[in-house]
Chains A and B, each alone.
Chain A
């Protein structure tokens, strides 16, 4: 990598990867600002007069705004609960020996392996029976079955990397179990917690299958509404692109917000 040619190739590779990854994103965002004529132009136009018409249209469409709010509520609640419930479980799995620990661990990992579609019908029947169809609660509960294992998995790994000496020092310092968890494990596990929170949020935010099956009118989420645009005779490209942008936006902002905590090396200096 010391030779200029090697560096140049490396940079070129990075650039290509970046373009490949970001181009669809760019296309969606830029299309959402194009007038209908520019949208359908062939060959595609690169320079155009931006318009906020599509955003105005979906802003006026109460279905979309409600759906975005619904998605925000469901994803935030799910993420919050997954972290609140998952981190103590991860602490226990990382630091305590108890009967059935291996089985519990396997269950956490393996229930991610079942294809969701297999469970869709039984879950639908259960939800209907319980009168939970079209509620926030049912979505949050079903999303927790996916996000909780993610949090437990990532955080257990993170907590295991914390030197056990720290916990013992804290115990000698008079910290009770909860103090150790709260004052040592949570702050030092922040990178893992942040990563798992992002995954939980993104998963809940993007989830389509269960949202489609379990909601009707009141708590339809953004992805459900976005798909509903595709049922007419013509495709409202502008609206779809604007909705898509709106769906991606919160996830991006959220990821940027917590990325500060993802920086590794927080535990450096603990030992030696």
Chain B
């Protein structure tokens, strides 16, 4: 059995089903990220793992033990809250000691662990301060320190970086990745930010409305999204979607039509899902897979405007059907409004989805 396993977990608040039959497994030492839009149930799922909420149905296993009916404190997990949840009336040292004091650990042992955690997080000089005397980034470190001191089986993070400014967020992200490498600890991390998910995760769980949309490594989700939701959610800027039609079927390819393509395009198949000729099809193209250079296939678009980001530029253009596309290209490109734009791509990079949004 896996180190952390959820088995058909359901959570209802009254008549409202927030988690709708989620199953997943994570190995020891894995960094698992729950990602999804706000309100999809990420926090609730994390709290079900922590035991802060009771499951309505299903089971939670941690380290080979069924903990569905086990108290939060006895599950051996530590959580870093979005709000940090530091005890405001206690010093940093007391905050970090609280869990071990509750467990009646010997004083020297508590002191040793606090010193160790403070060294790792470089907060030794903050130990006697109160939380209100700390900056946001420092509070964040203390919250992580409090988790480390407890030496948990699993670390749980609920959007730990969302209250920090962009620069600090980047730093802390790297730091959390480093902590994971140093400790080799199992971590479950909730975020709505797909960049955090892509950079931190060994395995990403994409959630929508309380259901799992797809589970996989960042590369798997990026290369083979199972549906339009995952395709649109993972990757930045967002994948472009065009609505076309199936013109014909081959053994290992689909021929599609779209006015911007000017003719029929042969796209190699990625999934084995059945599709019929003449059925509508969603064509997915990532902005970074479009180019202004020569390429095996082309789209005829009308330029709209350009944004220069320094190293890259994002061009916005319209298909004859009115659909807007984003094109990400290196260097500084400009585009005039209405200017005819020939955009190249590799058909092997095209993602196809059926009318239900499932990859074909």
Please give the residue numbers on chain A whose beta carbons come within 8 Å of chain B beta carbons, in ascending order: 163, 165-166, 168-175, 179, 183-184, 187-188, 266-272
The verdict on B312 contacting chain A, using a C-beta distance below 8 Å, is: no
Inter-chain pairs besides A188-B89, A270-B85, A271-B83, 18 sampled, C-beta below 8 Å? A163-B83, A163-B85, A165-B82, A166-B87, A168-B52, A169-B79, A169-B85, A171-B52, A172-B52, A172-B77, A172-B78, A173-B102, A173-B150, A175-B98, A175-B102, A183-B98, A269-B88, A270-B87
Provided the pairs A163-B85, A188-B88 are in contact, do residues A269 and B136 lie with their beta carbons within 8 angstroms?
Answer: no
The verdict on B293 contacting chain A, using a C-beta distance below 8 Å, is: no
Q: How far is the CA of A165 from the CA of B99 in the complex (A)?
A: 15
Are B83 and A165 closer than 8 Å at their CB atoms? yes
- Nearest to A188 among chain B residues (CB) is B89
Binds A, one of B115-123, B127-135, B280-288: B127-135
The verdict on B48 contacting chain A, using a C-beta distance below 8 Å, is: no
Q: How far is the CA of A271 from the CA of B163 in the complex (A)?
A: 10
A134 → B minimal CB distance (Å):
44
Are A174 and B87 closer than 8 Å at their CB atoms? no
In-complex Cβ contact of B73 among A173, A183, A188 (8 A): A173
Q: How far is the CA of A25 from the CA of B78 in the complex (A)?
A: 57
A193 → B minimal CB distance (Å):
13
A-B contact pairs, 5 of them (CB 8 A): A169-B81, A171-B73, A173-B102, A188-B89, A272-B83
In-complex Cβ contact of A171 among B72, B131, B132 (8 A): B72
Interface size on B, residues (CB 8 A): 31
Q: How far is the CA of A147 from the CA of B32 in the complex (A)?
A: 52
**Interface centre among A174, A175, A183, A272, by most B CB within 10 Å?**
A174
Q: How far is the CA of A172 from the CA of B47 in the complex (A)?
A: 11
The verdict on B103 contacting chain A, using a C-beta distance below 8 Å, is: yes
Are B98 and A170 closer than 8 Å at their CB atoms? yes
Are B81 and A184 closer than 8 Å at their CB atoms? no
Q: How far is the CA of A185 from the CA of B103 in the complex (A)?
A: 20
Which residues of chain B are near A174, meaning CB under 8 Å?
A: 73, 99, 102-103
B72 → A minimal CB distance (Å):
5
The verdict on B84 contacting chain A, using a C-beta distance below 8 Å, is: yes
Q: How far is the CA of A172 from the CA of B50 in the complex (A)?
A: 8
Which residues of chain B are near A171, meaning CB under 8 Å?
A: 52, 72-73
Are A269 and B134 closer than 8 Å at their CB atoms? yes
Q: How far is the CA of A166 from the CA of B133 in the complex (A)?
A: 18
Q: How far is the CA of A267 from the CA of B50 in the complex (A)?
A: 25
Are A269 and B130 closer than 8 Å at their CB atoms? yes
A265 → B minimal CB distance (Å):
8
Are A272 and B103 closer than 8 Å at their CB atoms? no
Are A267 and B88 closer than 8 Å at their CB atoms? yes
Provided the pairs A171-B52, A173-B73, A187-B89 are in contact, do residues A272 and B102 lie with their beta carbons within 8 angstroms?
Answer: no
- Nearest to A167 among chain B residues (CB) is B85
A159 → B minimal CB distance (Å):
14
Which residues of chain A are near B26, meaning CB under 8 Å?
A: none
Q: How far is the CA of A163 from the CA of B72 in the complex (A)?
A: 19
Provided the pairs A172-B72, A172-B77, A174-B73 are in contact, do residues A270 and B86 lie with their beta carbons within 8 angstroms?
Answer: yes
Are B99 and A173 closer than 8 Å at their CB atoms? yes
In-complex Cβ contact of B84 among A170, A175, A266, A271 (8 A): A271
Provided the pairs A172-B79, A173-B150 are in contact, do residues A269 and B98 lie with their beta carbons within 8 angstroms?
Answer: no
Q: How far is the CA of A165 from the CA of B88 in the complex (A)?
A: 12
B213 → A minimal CB distance (Å):
28
Are A184 and B77 closer than 8 Å at their CB atoms? no
B229 → A minimal CB distance (Å):
30
Which residues of chain B are near A270, meaning CB under 8 Å?
A: 83, 85-88, 131
